Structure 1
Amino acid sequence: MRIEWQIVFWAAALAFIGLLLWLFNGVIMPFAAAFVIAYLMDPLADYLQRRGMSRLAATLFILFGIVFVLALILVLVVPVLAHQSVAFIQALPGLLNKLQSLVSGVAGKLNAQYAEPVLRKLGYHSPSVPEMRASVGDIAGQAAGWFVGVLNSLVAHGAALISLMSLVVVTPVVAFYMLVDYHRMIAAVDGLIPPRYRGIVHQLAHQIDRTMSGFLRGQSLVCLFLGLWYGLGLSLVGLNFGLLIGITAGFLSFIPYVGSMTALVAAAIIAIVQGWPHWTLFAEAIGVVVVGQFLEGNVISPKLVGDNVGLHPVWLMFALLAFGSLFGFTGLIIAVPVAAATGVIMRFAVQKYRESHLFMNLPQGQTLILPETVNAPKEH
């Protein structure tokens, strides 16, 4: 088959798959989540099989363990998070007003001592404290309005959230069958690959599996560590809503740097408002976040995720935002596998392009100069 027809075929196949995902967006979510669970738990099931358990017994053991852990979370963690969430929503107007007063007061002092003399010499009018307070009030009002709008959106889509929770019943059932038949499914797909392409497909599949498994399993453990570290650490230093901030930041840490920045900004703002005019609580909260980030960047991530995963944070954020906007929660589930597969396939395509006649075909008499040899030192 000519290369043009192959490109047309695969482009049409990708478009057809995207159309199916869009049409069955509300139905396919539990199946996508179940496949991710089966993919993540397959090495553990294989380990239990090597220990003498049957595949069925290993699958039941794993799923019961997952259900047990989720039940503990629902009993021990969710009530505390719900209480802190309600308290945070109730305290938000007061926090914003106090933050407004602190910012306007500090800005007024800095303006009177430093900015006003300089601006007066330059011939500019320095804004007064009431003007700055009004400006800060407008910004705080806009922030509060945005937050209330987000809450109203969540309430308006309550039916969708209820539907999402109802799918929790479907996902474990589908995950059970997928985990039991995981190797048979892989063998069935492998049998559809033409023999002449099977070696290349196996090579790409191995690289995709290495990327996905390294990121999904490793980053999930990183999120768990950061959520526990931030939540317990901020709570122990006495920061209000510390557990809520920590768990939220740990969940958002699935996107590199986003969770840590969220913890840093939220902890700093609440610590300043709560501990003013003393800076002890602020220093302790920032210390918890900085130490957690240091451990994550220098100890946890290198051990669990590794440096050769091949998923750039910018590419990952783009995939999550793009697939989330196109396919909703289902898109968030499939974003990482698609990003990993796309990255591996694109690197393979670039490698083949560099080896192709189109790239290597040079005019007669011209010598190919490789990039790594341009700045090579001369031998004496």
Structure 2
Amino acid sequence: MLGIIIYIYSAISFVFEPLKVIFSTLVAPLILAFIFYYLLNPIVDWMERHKIKRIWGVLILFIAIIGILAGLVALAFPPIQEQITSLVNNFPSYVDSMGITILSWVANTPLESAVSEFIEWLNGWVSNIPSVVVSYFDTAVSGLTSVFSTVSNVVVVIVTFPIIVFFLLKDDEKFFNYVLKIIPPKFRKDTKNIFATINEQVGSYIKGQLLISLSLGIMMFIGFTVIGLEYSGILAIVATFTSIVPYIGAALAMIPAVIVAFTISWFMVLKLIIVWVVVQFVDGNLIEPNIMGKNLNVHPLTIIIVLLVLGDLLGFVGLILGVPIYAISRVLVTFVFRKFKQRYNKYYGDEAGNYENTEFTPDKYQEKK
């Protein structure tokens, strides 16, 4: 039977080619567009509440973003480019210097052989960083149907996603109402609740995680500058982008910083560790609770497992989108389970006892299952 199915699919696979092309063309700009929609929509809503028409609010916001980006490129790009060039050129020698320092600490000890092998492996890995990065991004690309596989597709993404963002911001209610009209009337209330819950969960996560990443980057930059660490600007930028990945990203950002610190002195390493501990403490106890609140309410271990699994399946894309994918899946599973509980209570509740928490709304979603 399986053989017949495979044969039939191979015979008619050409039918699916147009769908594959459409999918690979639309997925990337749509993902980026929805991310930016969640980030920018609160600003547009705020302007609308202050008597600025939505279309004008969107235009003002786009002009402001373009102006800010142009200013940042003009002011920050030259020194950042200089730091990047210097760090890339010097990084292999920094790794060598760190290796020599560590080997001197463990000389004539049982650890010397193991540490020596690790340093050799690290040197080899650093020399292969370009090929490793290319390979990893190839994995990420193939995991999302080669969305970014060609220059033409990248250009399509860059050109189309701002247009999609513009119309999402301008006509979000019209778009949602149009989709809702397609749904049978009996299911519209449930559909609205599902969309509202997903919107709250995913929107809160995207906005919160990006704000947390930005705050981490700023705190790292201040800390690196205060202790006198070289390349504080580019290392803080690396920390900002890697921190988009919860928990794992902040630790990864410290690897190049530690290597640079080792080339200066062990005291610089100690100061760097103090900066990292202080930043993590402030983030975990002050920034994250106030930005994220309890909207997502996912255990850190669950997030790490999700990132490991989806990172393996989708590469870099899985690390970035792993938590939103999990949040959407969790909303849908919770909705189905609560519908099951309602059905169970209807037929068996009087006789065997009722399930609690059977209603599904954005407000009741966070109640214990």
**Above 0.5 in TM-score?**
yes
**Which residue of the partner structure matches residue 296 of structure 1?**
283
Instruction: Find the aligned partners of 2:306 and 2:314 in 1 and give their Cα distance.
Output: 12
Q: Does 1:223 align with 2:197?
A: no
Match of 1:210 among 189, 200, 205: 200
Match of 2:158, SS state, is coil
The alpha carbon displacement at 1:369 in A equals: 11
State the secondary structure of the residue aligned to 1:169.
helix
CA gap of 1:55–1:358, structure 2 versus 1, over 3 A, is: closer
CA contact (8 A) 1:104 1:132 kept: no
Shift of 1:78: 3.5
Which amino acid is the alignment partner of residue 54 of structure 1?
K
Separation in 1 of the partners of 2:194 and 2:137? Answer: 44
SS at match of 1:53: coil
- Pair 1:259–1:321, CA change in 2 (3 A): closer
Q: 1:187 to 1:63 in 2, by over 3 A?
A: same
In structure 2, the residue matched to 1:252 is 242
Q: CA deviation at 1:323?
A: 6.4
User: Does the aligned pair in 2 maintain the 1:255–1:316 contact within 8 Å?
Assistant: no
2:221/2:232 contact within 8 Å kept: yes
Unaligned runs of 5+ in 2: 1-15, 142-147, 357-369
Stretch moving more, 215-224 or 266-275: 266-275
**Gap change, CA 1:308 and 1:50, over 3 Å in 2:** closer
Q: CA deviation at 1:270?
A: 2.3
Work out whether 1:270 is the aligned partner of 2:260. Answer: yes
Q: Work out the CA distance in 2 between the residues paired with 1:136 and 1:249.
A: 25
Alpha-carbon distance in structure 2 between the residues aligned to 1:249 and 1:312: 23
Contact kept? 1:220, 1:254, Cα under 8 Å: yes
Aligned to 2:125, the other structure's residue is in SS state: helix
C-alpha displacement of 1:175: 1.8
Write out per-residue CA displacement over residues 16-66 of structure 1, whole angstroms, 9 at most, x where no aligned residue: x9x957753244422332233233322221221121111110110111122
Q: Which amino acid aligns with 2:92?
A: P
Per-residue displacement from partner, 1:210-254 (whole Å, max 9, x unpaired)? 211211111111111111111232133221222222211221212
- Counterpart residue type for residue 32 of structure 2: A
- Residue aligning to 1:142: 124
Mapped partners of 1:57, 1:333: distance in 2: 32
Matched residue count: 331
> Any idea what SS the aligned residue of 1:274 has?
coil
Pairing 1:182–2:164 present: no
Shift in Å, 1:107: 1.0
Which segments of 5 or more consecutive residues in structure 1 lack a partner in the other structure?
Answer: 1-16, 116-126, 372-380
Evaluate the alpha carbon distance shift between residue 291 and residue 267 of structure 1 in structure 2; reply closer, same or farther with a 3 A threshold: same
How far apart are the structure 2 equivalents of 1:87 and 1:336? 35
Q: Which amino acid aligns with 1:44?
A: I
Amino acid at match of 2:99: Q
CA drift of 1:304 comes to 0.9
The amino acid across from 2:79 in the alignment is V
CA-atom RMSD in angstroms: 3.7
Name the CA distance, whole Å, in 1 between partners of 2:346 and 2:130: 55
Measured at CA, do residues 57 and 291 of structure 1 come closer, stay the same or move farther in structure 2, by a change above 3 Å?
same
Question: What does residue 93 of structure 2 align with?
Answer: 94
| TM value normalised by structure 1 | 0.73
* Residue-by-residue CA offset, 1:260-310 (whole Å, 9 max, x unaligned): 21233433332122224xx1x222222221111111111111111112314
Note the alpha carbon deviations across 1:319-352, whole angstroms, 9 max, x for none: 6677677778877776554332211111223334
Structure 2 length-normalised TM: 0.75
- 1:53 maps to 52
Give 1:231-246 correspondences, 5 Å limit. 231-246=221-236
Give the aligned residue type for 2:230: N
Q: Where does residue 69 of structure 1 map in the other structure?
A: 68
2:337 to 338, 342, 350: 350
Q: CA deviation at 1:135?
A: 2.1
Corresponding residue of 2:13: none
Q: Residue deviations 1:135-164, cap 9 Å, x none? A: 244323332244242356599999857863
